[in-house]
Amino acid sequence: MAGLWVGEAALVTAGRRGRRWPQPLLRSAALWTLKHVPHYSRRHLVVSRSLCSAGYDSNEKTFDKILVANRGEIACRVIKTCKKMGIKTVAIHSDVDASSVHVKMADEAVCVGPAPTSKSYLNMDAIVEAIKKTGAQAVHPGYGFLSENKEFAKCLAAEDVVFIGPDTHAIQAMGDKIESKLLAKNAKVNTIPGFDGVVKDADEAVRIAGEIGYPVMIKASAGGGGKGMRIAWDDEETRDGFRFSSQEAASSFGDDRLLIEKFIDNPRHIEVQVLGDKHGNALWLNERECSIQRRNQKVVEEAPSLFLDSETRRAMGEQAVALAKAVNYSSAGTVEFLVDSKKNFYFLEMNTRLQVEHPVTECITGLDLVQEMIRVAKGYPLRHRQADIAISGWAVECRVYAEDPYKSFGLPSIGRLSQYQEPIHLPGVRVDSGIQPGSDISIYYDPMISKLITYGSDRREALKRMEDALDNYVIRGVTHNIALLREVIINSRFVKGDINTKFLSDVYPDGFKGHQLTENERNQLLAIASSLFVASQLRAHRFQEDENSRVPIVKPQVANWELSIKLHDEVYNVVASNSGPTFSVSYYNRKTPLDTAKSLLYIIPSASSSPAVTAVLKVEVDESKLNVTGTWNLASPLLSVNVDGTQRMIQCLSREAGGNMSIQFLGTVYKVHILTKLAAELNKFMLGKAAEDTSSILRSPMPGVVVAVSVKPGDLVAEGQEICVIEAMKMQNSMTAGKTGKVKSVHCKAGDTVAEGDLLVELE
């Protein structure tokens, strides 16, 4: 687990002048805390290199004990601030979460039911009973689950327990997209054209969509986080969208009401953080750019936005505050806007809770939003004025998910984290997570692994730190989306700030394919793969040369290695010969005769006992030389390689006796097949596995639960026709036929739990 405050020093910003001076940080109780920091007035903020956080006044009493009605990383996040403030915490958990990190971090823990969220984290009766049992004085709901549920807030009020969030009126008004839109209009906030009432059925949805004009956005009235949202471009998509959105809304929020509004094509998604108290004060804490999305769910966020100028920023902030004041908002909340290319902005929705991406705001403003929420809930006034809220540096957040980015930019993956190592040793890096080695990513909850945040003095530094952090992140046991995240942040369009909510589909119209290697990068990878092979051979030889061996072993006299390396269906024949202390390796494409090989790779083994190899690649075609140097510790999950003065961090994920090697290089995992020349020749006689006719079968592309099956044996289906619906992590996905045919057999039924690759339906 990463500590909440990371770095060697903190910067204290006093007043508007922005003067800074260092303050030492001490490690205490597994947290980074400030020592000798004075009490803070409204004009004092604290800024650290990787998380900006206000100091805590120990004389300011709030609560003795807080129950955190959530799980995972956000529960850990809240618990950390509570510990900093000297507040005891109570964790709730389902039976499958009994060993979770947030449970171990809390002072007390109570099981509230079995794995399904409806029976545990959404079980208000069980949570209220846990409050009574532990004597908690307040509840922090985090985000999701019951965080925007007015009935839960009412239950707490009836028990004389403080809900750390806005009052029920604000939750009702702002949590409901229909009511909030009407209130926004009355508060003179720019709104999107659309239907202001509740859509009753699919027929009415089609009628309303026709009146508004396609495309339209269908979304859950009580929703958030991309759940229950669909874009429709015609009547058929409107009917399907109404069905799926209402089902997802009922599953995620217990409220299937929908609304329809005009879909603004190619917009930016920019949101404004607001903070209000119970004394009529409200601030806007600058904006967050959240335009990189897939399926209406955010993937990469940053603060501030490269797109906004100071005038537009102020106008958006003032409208956000006007809306907050219209409902006497008291807590942290977020007003979301869609912004077009001309910087016209339109109110989208207000989230009456802490946002997933709140850390980037903390980094550039110096506020601990959880701490501010707790203070406000206790009745204290805000400590800052609008003039105190500046922008210091730049922060970027990547949402690291257990997902396969090669399937629709991210379909869920499940499994156990066999190895897990966060890059918190790097400067300017913060990781908010709720997992550890051995943790399970299950089908019951969101597949988020962590939120990876980097902070820098400017955007360029923050992005470079993010690139390094992604390369240094070790995640084994589940498929993850690091390859996609890394490609996004280095993409030329993203670096220039030329982004919108369709960025992923625009940049990758045929789907994400991973990093596309240049010729030089390909040569680097071949050098790395060859070096790994030789390093493993050297280690094996050193083991055989062990003088203490009880069994006499004939010392191998390996003069050279003749290898065959396959990468992306291209085969490179490699000859590694031993000449004194130097191993030379030449490789060439199979189409090229050996005697006309154009490239030469020298591999020089270290004289030490550690498996260290220095490699130098000479490419004679263009008379350039590529130097690759590294210490190859095969037991380490991370391997540092220097390529012509540029440091690369790679991961060797697997090496098999059959020659398969998986290397994570530039964020993408490449499968390399390395065999000796003899093994490669014999491998030609091995029968290959026949390719499966995927057009005649339907397999589950992800783990999940079958919600509905639309066919039975003997039915005739058309290509693209819906076969079944699978729900994974609260998102419903329609599975369709790959060709026109007759259903031969059905291998699933509604309610079944399926794994990735499970056979669902066969066609004749």
Q: What are the residue numbers of the active site?
A: 349
Q: How far apart are CA 51 and CA 328, in angstroms?
A: 29
Query: Where do the DSSP E strands lie in 327-418?
Result: 332-339, 345-351, 394-401, 403-404, 411-412, 415-416
**What are residue 640's DSSP bridge partners?**
649
Give CA separation, 592 vs 572, 574, 589, in Å: 9, 12, 5
Residue in the structure block whose two tokens are 């070096």:
531
Distance from chain centroid for Cα 88? 29
- Of 549, 602, 569, nearest to 673 by C-alpha is 569
Q: How far apart are CA 422 and CA 401, in angstroms?
A: 14
DSSP structure string for 488-543 = HHH-HHHHHT---TTHHHHH-TT--------HHHHHHHHHHHHHHHHHHHHHHHHH
Q: State the sign of the Cα–Cα–Cα–Cα dihedral 77, 83, 86, 89.
A: positive
Print the SS3 string covering 412-444: ECCEECCEEECCCCCCCEEEEECCCCCCEECCC
CB 383 within 8 A of CB 57: no
**Angle, CA 507 vertex, CA 502 and CA 512 arms, to 5°:** 105
Q: How far apart are CA 350 and CA 318, in angstroms?
A: 14
Give CA separation, 7 vs 26, 34, 82, 297, 406, in Å: 10, 11, 20, 30, 35
Q: How far apart are CA 78 and CA 369, in angstroms?
A: 10
Phi/psi zone of residue 580: left (φ > 0), alpha (ψ -120 to 50 degrees), beta?
left
DSSP three-state, residue 627: strand
CB 610 within 8 A of CB 561: no
- Of 274, 278, 292, nearest to 358 by C-alpha is 274
Distance from chain centroid for Cα 324? 29
CB 96 within 8 A of CB 444: yes
Residue in the structure block whose two tokens are 């004085």:
137
DSSP structure string for 22-88 = EEEEEEETTEEEESSPPPP-TTEEEEESS-------TTS---SEEEE---HHHHHHHHHHHHHTT-E
Distance from chain centroid for Cα 430? 13
- Helices and strands counted in the chain (H then E): 17, 44
DSSP structure string for 663-732 = EEETTEEEEEEEEEHHHHHHHTTSPPPPPP-TTSEEE-SS-EEEEEE---TT-EE-TT-EEEEEEETTEE
Q: How far apart are CA 230 and CA 239, in angstroms?
A: 10
Half-sphere exposure of 649 (CA within 13 A, CB side): 14
Residue in the structure block whose two tokens are 């003039």:
387
Q: How far apart are CA 577 and CA 523, in angstroms?
A: 19
CB 642 within 8 A of CB 628: yes
Token code pair at residue 442: 């299950």
Token code pair at residue 564: 């065959």
